[in-house]
Amino acid sequence: MGKQVVAFQATMQMMADQFPGAFAGYSLEVEESHQRSKVDTSGTAKAIVGSFRQLGIDFSDDKIRKVRDPMAQIDHMHVPENALQGHAFHTYSLRSPDGTVAFQFQHNVCGREIYAEGSVDAVLFLHSQIQQQSQQRLFSMIDVLRAGSMR
């Protein structure tokens, strides 16, 4: 529930919805680093890759490079040693077919505070919905972001 990460995901989805195929022909490399205990591929990386697919890039989730080795995390991904037990570093690198244009998107999180803050904001948002007697019963983190009442 990292609100800024969710906002980035939503922004990428909006770009994909507004400009489908804008990066057709580009190549994509995705690297994500999380603490060694995380075995699965990052859901955030998969969501961002989904947006890139809509933007015209041929890329499957199994091409996402998971970095779990602490030395590679420090040396290659530049994860601070004190964050090895709790971090989320993601890099999305795009290159044009002729190699003359490159884009890179990156989001790096050290620790877990960002997720706790987002969870608290979600609880406060849900409380406000109950107080307002909202008829809606299912909300997403995007609803929390749109409400703009984050602390």
Q: What is the pLDDT of residue 70?
A: 96
34 flagged as catalytic: yes
Quick one: which of 59, 53, 69 has its CA closest to 15?
Answer: 53
Q: How far apart are CA 41 and CA 39, in angstroms?
A: 7
pLDDT tens digit sequence for 36-52:
999 999 999 999 999 99
Residues facing 90 on adjacent strands: 32, 107
Instruction: Single out the catalytic residue among 38, 46, 66, 76.
Output: 38
76 flagged as catalytic: no
Amino acid identity, residue 136? Answer: Q
Instruction: Single out the catalytic residue among 3, 34, 87, 90.
Output: 34
Looking at residues 113-141, what average pLDDT do you find?
Answer: 89
Q: How far apart are CA 13 and CA 55, in angstroms?
A: 9
pLDDT tens digit sequence for 19-38:
999 999 999 999 999 999 99
Domains and CATH numbers, the chain: 3-111 (3.30.360.10)
For residue 50, the Cα-to-chain-centroid distance in whole angstroms is 11
For residue 62, the Cα-to-chain-centroid distance in whole angstroms is 17
